[in-house]
Amino acid sequence: MNRVFEKARRQPLIDQQSYLATLRWFDEDTRLVAQKLAEPTGDPRDNVAILKAFALQCWDTLRLRYTAGESLPELASYLTTVVEAYERVVDELEKVPDELYYPPFVFDDMIDNYVDYVNILATAVLLHREDLIPRIHALIEGTDYDKADVLIEGLLAFFLPERPKVENWYWKAYTPLLTALNCTTPHEQAKGMEKYVKGWYKSMKGVAHFWGKHEQIEPDFSPYMGYWAICSGAFTYLYDLDDAGYRDEMVYPKDMVDYARSLPRNQASWKEVL
């Protein structure tokens, strides 16, 4: 393995050969998307499925590149591509008859969908792409999953006005995070966050499809994009918590948090939220 790559990578489970091969595979698939969309079918959901797979691939690309150690400013720029890809899904869903419609993100069916959405939102926070946050919210706006989850609302409330107070959440794996945020002192919040971060990957066993994907890495393709509890970093940044107790945990995106802290905090209503 190239020593430069080995030093730059942010998780030790990834190798350079499968990383580069996977990016080449993604590039080739991207070239096929337009061709697939040009092939008419009798079902309007077919194009939705193609665009949804492409959007997920864009998000996988960002995660994989982050895991491999690529530049955060470059990934901040690429996040626009991810959001635009999901916006194409939403636009295509407008063409689907009401009786066949389904939301672009379904949070209560598979935890992977929920993790992806929360992490996309958290990535926008940490990479200072506040301009994308209204657009990321718009991906679920008007669906049954808008204004329904306390964790998502907890992030949105820092940047969007008049977000509702909700008490429900979709997945038990995130209960420790919410418990941490509900503590009364920053020290207690940080200790609770440490417990959450250290238990995050274990909590996904038997629940998330992405769990254990590093065991399936082949030289010509990696189904493993990295295991990241990015929302832990977003709340650590937004609540200004001391992450000394958990910053070296593999799933904690400490580079993103350090990047967020290195730039001026956006003058949003975050003080009012806290």
Q: Which domains does the chain have, with CATH numbers?
A: 3-273 (1.10.3920.10)
Q: What is the pLDDT at residue 267? A: 53
pTM above 0.75, yes or no: yes
Average pLDDT estimate for 1-23: 93
Mean pLDDT within 178-198: 96
Percent of the chain scoring above 70 in pLDDT: 96
Burial of 40 (0-12, 13-18, 19+ CB in 10 A): exposed
55: pLDDT confidence band, cut at 50, 70 and 90? very high
Whether residue 268 has pLDDT greater than 60: no
Cα–Cα distance list, 12 to 21, 67, 73, 251 (Å) = 17, 9, 22, 11
Res. 155: pLDDT tops 80: yes
State the pLDDT at residue 34.
78
In this prediction, residue 272 has a pLDDT band, given cuts at 50, 70 and 90, of: very low
Whether the pLDDT of residue 246 is over 90: the answer is: yes
Predicted pLDDT at 270: 43
> What pLDDT was estimated at residue 1?
62
Cβ atoms of 127 and 256 closer than 8 Å: yes
Q: Is 13 exposed, middle or buried (0-12, 13-18, 19+ CB in 10 A)?
A: middle
- pLDDT recorded at residue 33: 85
Longest dimension (CA), the chain: 58
